[in-house]
Amino acid sequence: MKTLVIAAIAAVGIAFPAQAQFTLSDRYQDQDGDLIADIPEDEAEQIDPGTLIFSYTPVEDPAVYEEAWAGFLDHLSEATGKEVQFFPVQSNAAQIEAMRAGRLHVAGVNTGGNPIAVACAGFRPFTIMASEDGSFGYEMEIITHPDSGIEAPADLAGKTVAFTSETSNSGFKAPSAILKSEFDLTAGEDFETTFSGAHDNSVLGVANKDYDAAAIANSVKARMLERDVVSEDQLKIVYTSETFPTTGYGTVYNLKPELQEKIKEAFFSFDWEGSALAEEFGKNGEDKFIPINFKDDWAVIRQIDEANGVEYNCQ
């Protein structure tokens, strides 16, 4: 199983040793110990692109979200004085590699991908979507269809379980660790695995009985139910995790400091009322951006990585 993972995300150089420790790539500095890359002190190393490239994590078909983000990107353009372009990435690894290569400046990165993006691409997350009371997050669910005969995680033995991608927290990392530690079920040994590529693919695969079960983010499932893409009677929940932080939003490390501040202000000054973002993400009760701290708010995700033996050897 580990060989499959390494092959699938070799582009960002992730290996899986026995022990794990979170460190940044040698190309970045962290003088203040906040676990994210410092902005270069040398102005010659800072960039000020004429067009800002933005991408949202590919938890579903990117086309679903280009329209949802359009109003926000207009606001971001006004706040920064820059043209802003939506970049529809097809995979988490492609998003991280684009930022690492300097082709992506602002992004919403999935939960499990945040540590990888921080370590390997100089990602500086600073905000997250939250509800009016400031609460945020989602749960990982293991779902099945009513005719599967699966009533509990122990029943996954001998079945086929769909994961999304190797960089996804709820779609791979968390369920792998939980199934091993709580139920003594090892992927590839006690049950067969397949990778769907996205949470919506996994939900649809279970609903259509292509997969016996799948590990998904319940926030994606909720939006699909709201849009009538699937119905409640097609799905059954057999496990729900603790709450995890959801998509983190931030910038690449080497944007000019004043530009990074303008981008931050754009997130926190955005008017959600009546917006396409509110229409889409309000289905999860999210209606504003709040500040987050990678060192503290992603500690549980780094612990999951450690439990899975993940180390970020960024080449």
- Give the pLDDT confidence of 173-209 residue by residue, as tens digits: 899 989 998 999 998 899 999 999 999 999 999 999 9
Average of per-residue pLDDT across 241-261: 95
Give the global pTM.
Answer: 0.78
Please check the confidence at residue 13 and state whether its pLDDT lies above 70.
Answer: no
Q: How remote is the C-alpha of 249 from its chain's centroid?
A: 10
For the cut 80, the answer to whether the pLDDT of residue 15 exceeds it is no
> Is the confidence at residue 130, as pLDDT, over 70?
yes
- SS3 readout for 42-98: CHHHCECCCEEEEEECCCCCHHHHHHHHHHHHHHHHHHHCCEEEECCCCCHHHHHHH
Type of residue numbered 89: V
Mean pLDDT of all residues in 233-240? 97
Residues 264, 126 within the same domain? yes
Look up the domain containing 217 and give its range: 138-244
Looking at the structure, do residues 220 and 271 belong to the same domain, yes or no? no
Residues 206 and 257 in one domain: no
Q: Do both 257 and 129 map to the same domain?
A: yes
* pLDDT tens-digit map of 28-61: 999 999 999 999 999 999 999 999 999 999 876 7
| More confident site: 299 or 19 | 299
Neighbours of 227 (CB within 10 A): 11
With residue 303 as reference, give the H or E element that holds it: helix 299-307
Question: Cα 83 to chain center, whole Å?
Answer: 25
Decide which of 187, 218, 244 is a domain's last residue.
244
The total number of residues written for the chain in this structure: 315
What is the count of structural domains for the chain? 2
How many C-beta atoms lie closer than 10 Å to residue 237's C-beta?
A: 13
Q: 173-184 burial by CB neighbour count: b if 16+ within 10 A, else e?
A: bbbbbbbbeebe
122: Cβ contacts below 8 Å, ≥ 6 apart = 25, 27, 28, 37, 99, 100, 252, 253, 254
User: Residue 21: which pLDDT band, with cuts at 50, 70 and 90?
Assistant: low
**Domain C-terminal end among 244, 268, 300:** 244
Please check whether residue 136 is in contact with residue 290, taking contact to mean a CB–CB distance below 8 angstroms: yes
Q: Which has more confidence, 275 or 300?
A: 275
Identify the domain boundary among 186, 219, 244: 244
Asked if 15 and 125 sit in the same domain, the reply is yes
How far does Cα 267 stand from its chain's mean position? 18
**Average pLDDT value for residue range 235-248:** 93
Same domain, 159 and 65: no
pLDDT value of residue 315: 64
The pLDDT of residue 311 is 75
Rounded to whole angstroms, the Cα distance separating 199 from 204 reads 9
19/129 same-domain check:
yes
Tell me the CB-side half-sphere exposure of residue 258, using CA atoms within 13 A: 6
- Output the six-digit token pair for 176: 């792998």
The CATH number of the domain holding residue 234 is 3.40.190.10
Task: Residue 110: name the closest of 250, 265, 241 by CA.
Answer: 250
d(CA 250, CA 92): 15
Provide the residue type at 25 as one letter. S
Residue 83: pLDDT over 80: yes
Percent with pLDDT over 70 in the chain: 92
Lowest mean pLDDT segment, chosen from 58-67, 200-209, 255-264: 58-67
In the predicted model, what is the mean pLDDT of the chain? 89
Do the bridges between strand 311-312 and strand 14-15 make them parallel or antiparallel, or are there none, so unpaired?
antiparallel
Q: What are phi and psi of 6, to 5 degrees?
A: -60, -45
Supply 302's token pair: 């780094």
Higher pLDDT, 169 or 206: 206
Provide the percentage of residues in the chain whose pLDDT is more than 90.
71
Q: Kindly indicate the confidence band of residue 90, based on its pLDDT and cuts at 50, 70 and 90.
A: confident
Instruction: List residues bridging with 273 in a β-sheet.
Output: none
What CA–CA distance (Å, rounded) separates 194 from 188? 9
Beta pairing partners, 249: 108, 127
